[in-house]
C-alpha cells in the first residue's frame, strides 16, 4: 500500500511540473504573440507614416512645379531666359516652405532637355523642369516635367488684366469733380469673367476667368479697397469670390505684345492720335449711329469688321493729340493704344485691346456705355517716383467688359503667332 501512495505522489508531482511547464509555454507564446503584434503594429504605423510623407512629398513637389511654371513669363518660342544662369540647371524657385504642410520645402530648377547641342541654348522650345521636395525624416521626392509653350488658343488671365507694381486711378472725363477713382461711385459697371458669345449671344464654352487680374498684391489691394466702398453698384464677377479680383502669377509683357502687333504688316496705324466726336464732344470726326458714305480709308469709326478684322494701332504723338474714341466707334480684331486714352459713349470692340504706357501722362479710361467682348491688357511705365512700373486706369459709368473666347479665337486664328503663350507641362515623371 505505501508503494502505491508513493507512486501516486510522484505522479502528482510530475503533473505539477508538467502544468508549470505548460503555463510557462503558454505565457511565453502569448508574450511572443503580443510582442510580435506590437512590433508589426509599430511597423505598420511606420509604413503608414512613410507612405503619408511620401504622398505629401509628391504633392509638394508637384505644387513646386506649378509654382515654377508661374515664374516663366508668357513669351514667344524658346526658353533661353530660363537657361541663362551660366551653368544649368538654373533656379526657378529657391528653397521655399510649403505653407500648408509643416516641415516641407521645395526647390525648382530648369535645364535644357537631353539631346540639345548646348546647355544654355534652347533650340526646340522645350526644357526640363525639376521640382524637389524635402520633408521630415529625410523624406525627398523629385518630379521632372518636360515643358513647352501651350498650343491652345490664347486665353488671357482675365478680361481686364493689369501688369504693374503699383497703380493710380483716373478721372471720369464727364465728371472731373468726382475725383480720381478706379471705379465709378454711382453707376453700375460690369466686368465679367464668365465666357460670353456675342453672335449669337449666349454663354461661351470656356471656364470662367477672374474678372480682374493683377500681377501685384498692392494693385489688387487698392482695387479691392475701393470696390468695397461702392460694392452695391458694381458687378465684378467670375472665378472665385465676389468681387472677382485676384493677383496671378501669369506675366504678360504688354509692351512686347504691343510691339509685335505694331510690326505686323497690314496693321492700320494712326500715329498722330485719334479723336472721334459723340454726344459729349463735337466737330472733330463724328461717328454717328448711321455713318455717311463714302467712308475714309482708314476709317476712324470702323476699326475692323466681323468679316474683315484688323490690327489698329493708335499712338499719341503730342500733348494735344490724345486718343478719344467716342460715339459709335466699332471694331473687330486687335486695338493697340499708346497714350492718354478715353474709350467712351457707344464705343464697342470685339477682340483684344492692348494699352501701352510709354510716358508718365499715359492712362486708359473706359467710360459711358463702352463695351468690350474679349480682353483688355493694361501696361505700365516707371514714372521715377520710387513705386516701380505704374499703371493708370479707370472703369467708369455703365461700361461692360466681357471675357469672350469667341472674340479671342478670332484674334488667335488671324494672329496667333503674335500672341504670347504660357508654359505647359506635356510629360511628367515622379522619380
Whether residue 192 sits in one domain with residue 105: no
Count Cβ atoms within 10 A of the Cβ of residue 2 and give its class: 0-12 exposed, 13-18 middle, 19 or more buried.
exposed
Looking at the domain assignment, is residue 179 inside a domain?
yes
- Are residues 230 and 120 located together in one domain of the fold? no
Q: Are residues 144 and 165 in the same domain?
A: no
* 194 and 311 belong to one structural domain: yes
Residues 263 and 342 in one domain: yes
In this structure, is residue 231 part of a structural domain?
yes
Final residue in a domain of this structure, among 94, 116, 149: 149
Last-in-domain residue among 149, 172, 187: 149
pLDDT, one tens digit per residue, over 354-365 is: 999 999 999 999
Evaluate whether residue 423 is within a structural domain. no
**Gap between the Cα atoms of 335 and 409, Å rounded:** 15
The CA radius of gyration of the chain, in Å to the nearest whole number, is: 34
Q: Total structural domains in the chain? A: 2
320, three cell numbers: 494735344
Residues 266, 340: one domain?
yes
In a domain, 2, yes or no: no
What confidence tens digit (pLDDT) does each residue in 164-213 have? Answer: 999 999 998 877 777 899 998 888 899 999 999 999 999 999 999 999 99
DSSP state of 368: T
On the question of pLDDT at 48 being above 90, the answer is: no
Q: Say if residue 43's pLDDT is above 60.
A: no
Question: Last residue of a domain, which of 149, 181, 205?
Answer: 149
Sequence-distant contacts of 7-11: CB under 8 A, at least 24 apart: none
Asked whether residue 1 is assigned to any structural domain, the reply reads no
**Do 187 and 76 share a structural domain?**
no
Question: Is residue 84, in this structure, part of any structural domain at all?
Answer: yes
Decide if 6 is inside a domain.
Answer: no
As a whole number of angstroms, the distance between CA 107 and CA 96 comes to 7
- Co-location of 364 and 330 in the same domain: yes
Say yes or no: 96 and 175 in one domain. Answer: no
Neighbour tally for 216: CB within 10 Å: 20
- The domain of 130 spans 15-149
pLDDT in tens, 50-107: 567 888 888 999 999 999 998 999 988 899 999 999 899 999 999 988 777 778 999 9
Q: Are residues 204 and 84 in the same domain?
A: no
121 and 265 both lie in a single domain: no
Entry pTM: 0.82
Q: How confident is the model at residue 115 (pLDDT cuts 50, 70, 90)?
A: confident
Burial profile 167-180: b = 16 or more Cβ within 10 angstroms, e = fewer: bbbbbbbebeeeee
To the nearest whole percent, how much of the chain has pLDDT over 70?
A: 86
Asked if residue 5 belongs to a domain, the reply is: no
Same domain for 250 and 324, yes or no, is yes
The torsion angles phi and psi of 345, rounded to 5 degrees, stand at 50, -120
Amino acid at each position: 500500500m505505501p508503494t502505491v501512495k508513493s507512486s501516486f505522489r510522484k505522479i502528482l508531482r510530475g503533473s505539477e511540473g508538467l502544468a508549470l511547464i505548460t503555463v510557462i509555454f503558454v505565457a511565453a507564446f502569448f508574450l511572443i504573440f503580443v510582442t510580435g503584434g506590437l512590433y508589426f503594429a509599430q511597423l505598420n504605423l511606420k509604413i503608414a507614416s512613410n507612405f503619408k510623407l511620401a504622398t505629401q512629398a509628391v504633392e509638394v513637389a508637384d505644387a513646386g512645379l506649378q509654382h515654377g511654371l508661374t515664374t516663366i513669363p508668357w513669351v514667344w518660342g524658346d526658353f533661353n531666359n530660363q537657361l541663362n544662369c551660366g551653368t544649368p540647371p538654373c533656379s526657378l524657385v529657391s528653397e521655399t516652405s510649403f505653407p500648408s504642410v509643416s516641415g516641407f520645402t521645395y526647390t525648382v530648377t530648369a535645364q535644357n532637355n537631353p539631346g540639345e547641342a548646348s546647355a544654355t541654348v534652347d533650340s526646340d522650345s522645350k526644357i526640363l523642369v525639376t521640382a524637389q521636395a524635402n520633408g521630415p525624416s529625410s523624406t525627398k521626392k523629385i518630379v521632372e516635367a518636360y515643358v513647352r509653350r501651350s498650343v491652345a488658343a490664347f486665353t488671357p488671365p482675365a478680361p481686364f488684366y493689369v501688369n504693374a507694381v503699383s497703380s493710380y486711378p483716373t478721372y471720369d472725363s464727364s465728371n472731373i469733380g468726382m475725383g480720381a477713382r478706379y471705379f465709378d461711385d454711382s453707376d453700375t459697371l460690369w466686368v465679367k469673367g464668365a465666357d460670353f458669345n456675342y453672335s449669337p449671344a449666349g454663354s461661351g464654352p470656356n471656364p470662367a476667368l477672374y474678372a480682374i487680374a493683377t500681377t501685384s498684391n498692392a494693385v489688387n489691394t487698392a482695387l479691392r479697397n475701393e470696390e468695397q466702398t461702392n460694392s452695391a453698384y458694381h458687378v465684378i464677377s467670375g472665378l472665385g469670390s465676389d468681387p472677382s479680383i485676384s493677383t496671378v502669377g501669369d506675366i504678360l509683357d504688354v509692351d512686347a505684345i504691343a510691339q509685335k502687333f505694331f510690326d505686323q504688316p497690314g496693321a492700320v496705324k494712326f500715329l498722330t492720335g485719334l479723336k472721334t466726336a459723340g454726344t459729349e464732344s463735337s466737330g472733330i470726326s463724328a461717328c454717328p449711329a448711321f455713318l455717311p458714305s463714302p467712308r475714309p480709308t482708314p476709317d476712324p469709326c470702323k476699326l475692323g469688321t466681323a468679316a474683315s478684322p484688323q490690327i489698329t494701332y493708335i499712338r499719341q504723338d503730342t500733348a494735344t493729340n490724345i486718343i478719344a474714341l467716342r460715339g459709335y466707334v466699332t471694331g473687330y480684331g486687335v486695338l493697340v493704344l499708346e497714350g492718354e486714352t478715353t474709350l467712351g459713349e457707344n464705343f464697342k470692340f470685339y477682340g483684344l485691346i492692348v494699352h501701352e504706357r510709354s510716358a508718365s501722362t499715359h492712362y486708359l479710361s473706359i467710360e459711358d456705355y463702352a463695351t468690350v467682348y474679349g480682353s483688355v491688357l493694361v501696361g505700365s511705365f516707371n514714372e521715377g517716383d520710387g513705386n516701380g512700373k505704374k499703371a493708370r486706369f479707370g472703369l467708369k459709368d455703365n461700361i461692360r467688359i466681357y471675357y469672350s473666347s469667341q472674340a479671342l479665337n478670332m484674334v488667335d486664328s488671324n494672329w496667333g503667332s503674335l500672341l504670347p503663350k504660357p508654359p505647359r507641362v506635356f510629360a511628367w515623371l515622379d522619380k
